[in-house]
Amino acid sequence: MINYLLLVLMTFLGALGALFLKKSSNHDTVMNQIKSPNLYLGGVFYGAGAVLNIHILNFLRYTVVMPMTSLTYIWTMFFSYYFLKEKITKRKMAGIFLIVAGAVCAAI
């Protein structure tokens, strides 16, 4: 059970990493991007997610872990809506639903 919770945490960290990397890209020059704390936060979150991924793969089957990483898309959609003020259309919702449904089918 703990490994499944870690799997969800891994997807959350991956989405957080993407959010902070996106926020670091809002700077006008490469030097300002390099100086941005968001760049390093994004790297830390991605790195933590990668380490968790390696750990989880020791205990769960690859055919379960990899499809379930599509949960990252759900987190990304929420983060995009709440923190980046992006619009979530019906088409995007349908796409997320199909991705998750496919992941569940592949994992069982």
Identify the pLDDT of residue 24.
93
Identify the pLDDT of residue 102.
86
At CA 3, angle to CA 76 and CA 93, rounded to 5? 25
Identify the pLDDT of residue 13.
97
Residues of the chain with pLDDT below 50 are: none
Identify the pLDDT of residue 68.
86
Q: Total structural domains in the chain?
A: 1
Burial degree of 64 (CB within 10 A; 0-12, 13-18, 19+)? middle
Ramachandran angles phi, psi of 40, nearest 5°: -75, -35
- Which residue range is the domain that position 12 belongs to? 2-107
